[in-house]
Amino acid sequence: MWGQVQIETDAQTILRYGELVVYVRRVEDEWRFSYRYNDPVDSGYAPEEEDWIRLVSRGDESLELAPVLPDRPLVIRPESPISIFPGRLARFFVALPLWYRFVAVLKNSRTDLIDIPSRILSNTWFGDPSAGELCYSLDAPLRRAPERLKDRTTTVTCQLTVRNGSDEKLNFERICAHVENLSIFENDGYLWTNEITVFFKGTEQVSQISIQDRPPDNLPNAQKLTAPREAVSRNILRRSFIFFRQFTGI
Amino acid sequence: MALFKNVDFSSLFTEDFLLTLFRAALYLVIGFLMLRVVIFLVRRLIRRRVTEQAKMLTTKVINYTGIVIIVVIVLLEFGVNLTPILGAAGILGLAIGIASQASLSNVISGLFLVSEKPFAAGDVITVGDKTGVVMSIDLLSVKIRTFDNLYIRVPNEKIVSGEVTNITRYPIRRMDFNLSVAYKENLQHVKDVLVDIAYRNPKVLDEPAPIIMFRDFADSGITLLFGVWFQKTDYMNVKNSVTLEIKNRFDEEGIEIPFPHLSIYAGSTTAPFPVAAVKEEEVESQE
């Protein structure tokens, strides 16, 4: 699925990825893209002239497809609140929505043309109304095993480990995942992100959120497909922690 | 004449005078160059620490102070006695101060605005009944461009003494829709439809959650408040899309939005004036 995309010359190519339908045309030195969601196969829809996104590049490139994660943090809202008792560790798996990145390739030159979300995500706010952060909202179940996740072919699996190192119960309803700091790996046909580990040390203590720069340990064949949009910085980690504490409600 | 008592007019165009003239010109050129350099350095030093307004104010203070110093040096070079000038300047200053109380009040208000920072250039504010984007905050006034492209100058004093609303101060806002539904409607169903409208609109924030509050049993129907949160840049998008969605969904769900009806009565009886459409042939047959 990933890598080179076959494009018909002088005609539009229709690509279907789950509920997303992408229309691609190459006209002289332009790449033209248009996309819709939930478009039936036999709808007969053809983009109008104003529906195309026109990107001027070169005429002799090939087109490649790469998976990327959303461009803003995701606020993951599990189906129900979760509590972790003191000293316990919980490992969760969550399916993150995928974005499709089309890249024009000519020898060693790669030009990112467009990122298209696999589905429309709703905006949400994380933190205080006067100084929070704009995120995407994701209603997604936190599963205890990756096999229990649905739509794994059109999503990226994220392994989230929460360790309660405090002497109090940790209650949380939402988690803010800074997906712009995550890489994507492929293992046996499934996509994975780096593992996120949250170490909760208590209400009054500084907790720690860390993102390992490698795939989860139990994936021996994992190959890195996409680098993170942004490198991990100490500030981002700190912000994540503050937000996490806010969301724990303690 | 006391002002120029130390000036020897007979020495005009002598070698000494030309030398003095040259030195004065040199002081002027070097003085203004140094002033430019000082302003440049100060602006560079404070560029990331203070607001644009503070930078502008600092620049102007340094500029005017520098000009005064340069002028004084040049006058001293010509041997001008400054004591009478300073005395006259004091009296003149007093006169100007009395004559321009409003302007001075605006200048001082401008200083308060710079220090308090209730808004910055680029913010959208409402002053009185005017709303627009702040273009600049100057010593005497704030310049605003309204959304219908009018240029408004608001004196600083008016802003400091009156109420100012900064619409874009915070990154997210709540948009309130005041709705009314008929008494026959199932209110729980109305509430569910509104929640669904907010949830399906990607520009409406899921959190903070939308609020729905039934307000009153009013004359025409039950009034309610529907408030949705959005990112401040999405104002127009949310306003239009949510309004359209409310109307369309209420139509689809058969939820009636009541509005006042006007009935025309004739005479003192309580029955309404009967009006019926009839065909032309029927009118002729009755005649």
pLDDT in tens, B74-99: 888 888 887 887 888 788 878 877 77
Q: Is the CB of B170 less than 8 angstroms away from the CB of A123?
A: no
> Which residues from chain A sit within 8 angstroms of residue B204, using beta carbons?
122-123
Residue A148 covered by a domain: yes
pLDDT above 90 coverage of chain A, percent: 32
pLDDT category of residue B138 using cuts at 50, 70 and 90: confident
A190 in the same domain as A86 = yes
Residue A105 lies in a domain: no
Residue A49 is assigned to a structural domain of this protein: yes
**Is B205 in contact with A123 (Cβ distance < 8 A)?**
yes
Q: Do A159 and A237 sit in the same domain of this protein?
A: yes
Checking if the pLDDT of A248 tops 60, the result is no
What is the gyration radius of the CA atoms in chain A, in angstroms? 20
Tens digit of each residue's pLDDT (9 = 90 or more) over A92-135: 999 999 999 999 998 888 899 999 999 999 999 988 888 888 99
Q: Say yes or no: A109 contacts chain B, CB-CB below 8 A.
A: no
Is there a single domain that holds both residue A91 and residue A190?
Answer: yes
Give the whole-angstrom CA distance, residue A142 versus residue A152.
Answer: 14
- Tally of domains within chain A: 2
Tell me whether residues A123 and B204 touch, CB distance under 8 A: yes
Tell me, which fold does domain B170-287 have in CATH?
Alpha-Beta Plaits (3.30.70)
Work out how many CB contacts closer than 8 A connect A with B.
45
Query: According to the model, what pLDDT value does residue B7 have?
Result: 62
- Give the integer Cα–Cα distance in Å for B25 and B243: 69
Cβ-nearest to B202 among A120, A126, A129? A120
Q: Minimal Cα–Cα distance from A219 to chain B, Å? A: 35
**Is the domain of A62 the same as that of A74?**
no
Query: What pLDDT does residue B11 have?
Result: 58
Same domain, yes or no: A34 and A126: no
pLDDT tier at A35, thresholds 50, 70, 90? very high
Query: A17 with A85, same domain?
Result: no
Neighbours of B155 (CB within 10 A): 17
Residues 175-204 on B with a CB inside 8 Å of A are 199, 201-204
- Whether ipTM exceeds 0.90: no
- pLDDT number for residue A137: 93
Query: Are A132 and B171 a contacting pair at CB < 8 A?
Result: yes
Q: What is the dihedral of CA B275, B279, B284, B286, to 10 degrees?
A: -50
pLDDT of residue A220: 79
Q: What is the dihedral of CA B48, B53, B57, B60, to 10 degrees?
A: 90
Q: Tell me, what's the pLDDT at A243?
A: 42
Among 3.40.50.300, 3.30.1280.10, 2.70.210.12, 2.30.30.60, what is the CATH number of B116-166?
2.30.30.60
Measured between CB atoms, does B22 come within 8 Å of chain A?
Answer: no
Cα separation, B138 vs A58, whole angstroms: 49
Identity of the residue in B199, B202, B229 whose CB atom sits nearest the CB atom of A125:
B229
- Residue B109 pLDDT: 84
Nearest CA in chain A to B203: A123
Please check the confidence at residue B14 and state whether its pLDDT lies above 80: no
pLDDT at residue number A239: 45
Domain holding A25, by residue range, is 3-66
